[in-house]
């Protein structure tokens, strides 16, 4: 079974919402009847978490087969991780019940759920700490090689925010005082804070997983066009290492396809002329390709674009003028494949990407930029998911203290 871009039907997750409401009602009614149903409640919750994980994994695979370059790919992976933690927590609860049944009461069931947001933060902190240290090291090396700029310290800024968030949560969690009402509101704030932190942590983990998966994919050797996405070039009009890596990756695929199937593809060199460039990035790439033995009639120039979105939009128009139902791929740096694919789908072009390797110190900071860029998209969908997570934290905290 091929996992990438093979389905025309988008996976749906409405059944998870229906299942969640049904389970919440059943659990609430069972607890209202008395604590003799506590074992049943915990078993139901455990089976519920297991079912949600299965549905999220199924949706994640379905999304890869429908459109791997999607916010949903990130969301499904990130929340499958979180629900996995809930399942482990629930298994621990059931185990504790059989070891000491007298320690269990109704409020504890809700406390376990509301506290799971914070548990996720604490349990994932070792991974986050290693990630932050590695990110800072790569940023320091990047600054030495590429010079000082705001963009080149994004990784350090993100690392500081991650560590500060964990520190704030742990400090507030261990110093809760006051009346029961005051304690409830303090814990509710902590759970809301943890829910927001969790959301962005899941998005970060999901972004890393989705970004990695799409760079591992190799398109079938039946392509009609290969779009090479432009980026900065040297003042003398020759490609920088980043741009040359994109062209070389496209050339490598071209020769592999030709050797495997005998089919030639056409290159689309996509990139306009910057204010400090002597000619367009498209022409720069074309000259490089021709030096490597590619004939001029195998290259289409797209020299109007200034953004990745425009790369895809204008390239699509060139393709449609020649071959409306063409099979298309694009070449860019590995850290940029996911977001570039997202823009391809936004202009309604079905295209799969290949990623060129990037120097180790450049990739982490670039991945952070991609993460920030992805967060700026699909704002309404992200807001709804974030609000839903916060509502769960609030409701279960209130049930714990009712």
pLDDT for res 70: 87
Average pLDDT over residues 177-204: 84
pLDDT for res 327: 95
Q: Is 1 a residue whose pLDDT tops 60?
A: no
Question: Which tokens is 81 given?
Answer: 């991780």
Average pLDDT over residues 160-165: 92
Average pLDDT over residues 339-357: 92
pLDDT for res 359: 79
Nearest to 109 by CA among 190, 23, 192: 23
Average pLDDT over residues 39-57: 88
Cα 219 from chain centroid (whole Å): 21
pLDDT of 193-216, one tens digit each? 988 888 888 888 888 888 888 988
pLDDT band at 177 (very low <50, low <70, confident <90, very high): confident
Q: How far apart are CA 151 and CA 139, in angstroms?
A: 10
pLDDT band at 227 (very low <50, low <70, confident <90, very high): very high
Integer angstrom CA distances of residue 384 from 52, 387, 390, 393: 19, 5, 10, 14
Cα 223 from chain centroid (whole Å): 27
Q: Is 222 a residue whose pLDDT tops 90?
A: yes
What top-level class would CATH report for the domain 225-326?
alpha beta
pLDDT band at 402 (very low <50, low <70, confident <90, very high): low
**Higher-confidence residue: 216 or 287?**
287
pLDDT for res 263: 96
Share of the chain above pLDDT 70, in %: 95
Asked whether 156 and 139 are in contact (CB, 8 A), the reply is yes
Average pLDDT over residues 22-35: 80
**Higher-confidence residue: 196 or 359?**
196
Strand partners, 270: 229, 302
Average pLDDT over residues 376-387: 76
Helix ranges restricted to H, 217-335: 241-261, 281-291, 308-322
Hey, is 69 helix, strand or coil? coil
Q: Is 231 a residue whose pLDDT tops 70?
A: yes
pLDDT for res 107: 63
CATH 3.40.50.620 in the chain, residue ranges: 225-326
pTM of the model: 0.81
């Amino acid at each position: 079974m091929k996992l990438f871009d093979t389905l025309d039907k988008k996976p749906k997750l409405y059944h998870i919402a229906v299942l969640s409401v049904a389970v919440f009602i059943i659990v609430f009614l069972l607890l209202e009847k008395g604590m003799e149903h506590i074992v049943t409640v915990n078993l139901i919750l455990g089976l519920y978490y297991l079912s949600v994980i299965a549905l999220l994994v199924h949706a994640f695979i379905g999304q890869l087969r429908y459109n791997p370059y999607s916010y949903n790919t990130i969301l499904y992976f990130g929340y499958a991780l979180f629900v996995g933690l809930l399942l482990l927590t629930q298994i621990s609860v059931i185990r504790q019940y059989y070891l000491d049944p007298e320690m269990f009461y109704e409020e504890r069931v809700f406390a376990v759920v509301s506290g799971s947001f914070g548990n996720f933060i604490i349990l994932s902190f070792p991974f986050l700490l290693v990630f932050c240290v590695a990110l800072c090291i790569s940023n320091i090396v990047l600054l030495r090689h590429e010079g000082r700029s705001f963009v080149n310290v994004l990784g350090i800024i993100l690392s500081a925010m991650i560590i500060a968030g964990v520190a704030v949560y742990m400090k507030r969690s261990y110093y809760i005082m006051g009346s029961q009402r005051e304690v409830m509101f303090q814990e509710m704030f902590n759970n809301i804070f943890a829910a927001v932190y969790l959301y962005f942590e899941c998005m970060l983990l999901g972004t890393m997983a989705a970004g990695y998966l799409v760079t591992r994919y190799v398109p079938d050797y039946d392509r009609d066009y290969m779009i090479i996405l432009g980026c900065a070039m040297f003042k003398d009009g020759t490609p920088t290492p980043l741009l040359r890596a994109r062209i070389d990756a496209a050339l490598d695929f071209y020769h592999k396809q030709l050797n495997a199937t005998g089919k030639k593809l056409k290159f689309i060199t996509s990139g306009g002329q910057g204010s400090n460039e002597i000619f367009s990035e498209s022409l720069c790439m074309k000259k490089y390709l021709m030096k490597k033995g590619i004939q001029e009639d195998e290259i289409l120039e797209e020299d109007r674009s200034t953004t990745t979105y425009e790369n895809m939009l204008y390239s699509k128009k060139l393709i449609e003028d020649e071959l409306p139902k063409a099979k298309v791929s694009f070449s860019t740096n590995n850290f940029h494949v996911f977001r570039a694919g997202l823009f391809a789908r936004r202009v309604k072009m079905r295209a799969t990407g290949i990623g060129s390797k990037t120097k180790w110190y450049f990739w982490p900071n670039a991945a952070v930029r991609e993460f920030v860029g992805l967060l700026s998209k699909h704002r309404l969908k992200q807001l709804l998911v974030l609000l839903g997570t916060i509502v769960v934290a609030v409701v279960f905290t209130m049930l714990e203290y009712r």
